[in-house]
Chains A and B, each alone.
Chain A
Amino acid sequence: GALVYQYPRRTICKSGTSMRMECQAVGFQATSVAWYRQSPQKTFELIALSTVNSAIKYEQNFTQEKFPISHPNLSFSSMTVLNAYLEDRGLYLCGARVGLSAETLYFGSGTRLTVL
């Protein structure tokens, strides 16, 4: 089956610093990767959808300047949270799609970000 690994599982950073998280697809080609943030107050906030060989689509309230994403091949994606502050706390989830016409996302266990 489709497996998605995210690392680190947990991370703590000081306010104003940056943190990079990674997403690895194992056993399939992740043609699209969606990054979400899940916080206690909100359900899944979609940050961006990255499709290989296409421009990354960021949602309103999320920008490339704040959350730069790299998707260099069909098995790997990374996202950085730049200048993290308290409101950036939460569980960051990576969901990967199998194939170009598929709609289903398979998720990793997430990276939990704590900002001090």
Chain B
Amino acid sequence: GDSVTQTEGQVALSEEDFLTIHCNYSASGYPALFWYVQYPGEGPQFLFRASRDKEKGSSRGFEATYDKGTTSFHLRKASVQESDSAVYYCALGDNNNAPRFGAGTKLSVKP
């Protein structure tokens, strides 16, 4: 079945570092790809999505580009802040099915 893989379980950075969280997917057809962020004690918040090859999604300084060739949707941010510390989830879905989430990547940013 369709799935997403996030290779990093945890990422530790300092403020102003560059962030990359890897997400690769396996799916038939052309799924939509999503990034969500979850802060402690809250449900996941939708960051952005992309649904076509080469489409870039972005929000709050985060961005990711849908790459069908490498089946990837890596999350990047040029300069992280302490307030970005959270768990980030990559997900894939379509109109007929609820999104499938990756295992999540916990980002810790030191001031």
Contact = CB atoms under 8 A, between A and B. Distances in A.
Given A43-B89, A43-B102, A107 B43 contact: yes
A44 B101 contact: yes
Interface in B54-111: 89, 93-95, 97-104
Contact of A95 (B97, B98, B103): B98
Contact of A107 (B45, B49, B97, B103): B45
Among A36, A93, A103, max chain B CB count under 10 A is at A103
Given A43-B101, A44-B89, A46-B98, A104 B43 contact: no
Contact of A104 (B46, B100, B101, B102): B46
A76 B51 CA distance: 28
A43 B43 contact: no
B32 interface: yes
Contacts of B36: 107
Contacts of B29: none
Contacts of B100: 46
A103 B89 contact: no
A45 to B, nearest CB: 9
Nearest to B49: A104
A90 interface: no
Nearest to B45: A107
A85 interface: no
Nearest to A45: B101
A49 B101 contact: no
B32 A93 contact: no
Interface in A14-31: none
Contacts of A105: 46, 93, 98-99
A101 to B, nearest CB: 6
Interface string A38-50: 0000011010010
Contact of A93 (B34, B44, B49): B44
Interface of A: 4, 6, 32, 34, 36, 43-44, 46, 49, 57, 93, 95, 100-110
